[in-house]
Amino acid sequence: MTRLSDEGDAEVRADMQPEVQSLSDALVGVAARDPELAVRLSRVFTAVAVEASRGPRFANALSKALREPEAAKSAGASASTKRAGNRRNPGPFDPFAVYAEGQETLLRQRLSAVDLEGLRDILAEHGMDNDRLAMKWKDTKRVVDRIVERVADRSAKGSAFRG
């Protein structure tokens, strides 16, 4: 394992002391309840730290995975963030879950609060625009009607076989 100079090593240790102490305290707390779990967690954290110290590739990937999403960082960020390539963002909510909760009335109420791009995201995510027409519509009421129609149809599908 590559080591820092004694001076740099001491500097890193001083900066990391609160985090290391916090991890140590947490592991001691876990060990009081489940010693085996504490040992396993300790092994996992040690393996990850050793691997991250061996090379920048894993350390960079780990750092990227643990970073906060940009939308959460920026205060007041809109729900529809920039999408990659020609992919749409996921819809703001699952219309099938809302329909199961309160049927058509609740679904229409929730959809009316979503902007046109959010409605298009729902259409794309759930494959509700097979004829590729609804994505071109500018009237939000028309798009809402399409979503409600498709959700109701799919939710009723197979109802003849249910108890």
In a domain, 163, yes or no: no
In this prediction, residue 11 carries a pLDDT of 61
Q: What is the pLDDT of residue 83?
A: 57
Diameter over CA atoms, the chain: 75
pLDDT tens-place string over residues 120-138: 988 888 888 888 888 888 9
- Residues 95, 37 share a domain: no
Q: What is the pLDDT of residue 49?
A: 83
Query: How would residue 147 be classed by pLDDT, with cut points 50, 70 and 90?
Result: very high
Mean pLDDT (the chain) is: 79
The residue with greater pLDDT, 16 or 45, is 45
Helix axes 95-112, 116-125, angle to 10 degrees: 160
pTM score = 0.48
Same domain, 58 and 122: no
> Which region among 18-22, 28-32, 103-107 has the lowest average model confidence (pLDDT)?
18-22
Last residue of a domain, one of 67, 88, 105: 67
- Structurally, the chain folds into a number of domains equal to 2
**30 and 58 both lie in a single domain:** yes
Same domain, 143 and 97: yes
Q: Which of 67, 97, 116 is the last residue of a domain?
A: 67
Distances from the Cα of 148 to the Cα of 99, 126, 130, 140, angstroms = 9, 12, 15, 12
Flag whether 72 is in a domain. Answer: no
In a domain, 161, yes or no: no
Q: Which pLDDT tens digit goes with each residue over 39-48?
A: 998 898 888 8
Residues 63, 82 share a domain = no
* SS3 state of residue 99: helix
Please, are residues 111 and 147 in contact by the beta-carbon 8 Å criterion? yes
Residue 159 lies in a domain: no
pLDDT of residue 85: 65
* Residue range of the domain that includes 35: 6-67
pLDDT digits (tens, 9 = 90+) for 50-98: 888 887 777 777 787 778 665 444 444 444 455 566 788 888 888 888 8
Shared-domain flag, residues 139 and 94: yes
Task: Note whether 47 and 111 are same-domain residues.
Answer: no
Among the candidates 49, 67, 85, a domain finishes at 67
Residues 83 and 62 in one domain: no
Look at residue 2 and tell me whether its pLDDT is greater than 50: no
